[in-house]
Structure 1
Amino acid sequence: MENTFDSDLIYSIFKLAWSRKTPEKSKEAEPIDTEVARASKKNRSTTANSNALTVSCELLRIFVTEAVERAAIIAEAEGNGKIEATHLERILPQLLLDF
């Protein structure tokens, strides 16, 4: 198996993103009854199972690999031996459209 991202790292990043979104949702509609609030889907904690994390890690690995390969092509065409931020900026719009 090829090198991939650590699933614990990806899960931590997802948890951070989910925790940042949670306060926004709770401000929109505050429940009147606390018993209803406990059973509400909006108040459940968000998690990801191991299969979802494995697929997410693989998708991120492919995305980063493709970005580096495309930026390397641009850098080589310009005669640079190094990939610079400008090369990534040039390939990013099409890369995002492709994914």
Structure 2
Amino acid sequence: MLGLRSSMEETNTFDPELIRAIFKLVWERRASERERNQLSETETELGPSTTKKTRLTSVNANALKLSCELLRLFVTEAIQRAATIAEAEGSLKIEATHLERVLPQLLLDF
């Protein structure tokens, strides 16, 4: 039973490659912003420019797995809280307004 549960939990999480791609996109955007900021700073300075090398950022496989699990827990909790509000209002569907109402407290809790 334990092996079955473990394999079921793995299928109910986010795709690690998707999360890695999202992380990579964010890292690339931040590196680009830093580079632009450094270029604008060096234009205003009179001295020689000193820029950092662009480094590749990667994620450890275990850290990626943990990130996927934390994201899964966050989304699950958001849905459960929104469902509670929808049920209290007598609604059969979770709507965006339900999620909007639980989001501030959810972000504080996580």
Regarding TM over 0.5, the answer is yes
Gaps of at least 5 residues in structure 1 are none
Aligned residues: CA RMSD: 1.7
Query: Structure 1 stretches (4+) deviating beyond 4 angstroms?
Result: 30-33
Amino acid at match of 2:24: K
Greater displacement, 43-52 / 72-81? 43-52
* 1:16-73 per-position Cα deviation (integer Å, ceiling 9, x unaligned): 111111111112335847xxx6xx5x52111101011000000000000000000000
Amino acid at match of 2:77: E
Query: What is the CA–CA distance in structure 2 between the aligned matches of 1:78 and 1:88, rounded to whole Å?
Result: 13
* 1:70-99 per-position Cα deviation (integer Å, ceiling 9, x unaligned): 000000000001000000000000000000
- Residue of structure 2 in register with 1:26 after alignment: 35
Identity rate, percent: 63
Query: What is the CA–CA distance in structure 2 between the aligned matches of 1:56 and 1:71, rounded to whole Å?
Result: 22
Amino acid at match of 2:96: A
Tell me whether 1:56 sits opposite 2:56 in the alignment: no
Higher radius of gyration, 1 or 2: 2
Amino acid at match of 2:67: S
Q: TM-score, normalised by structure 1?
A: 0.86
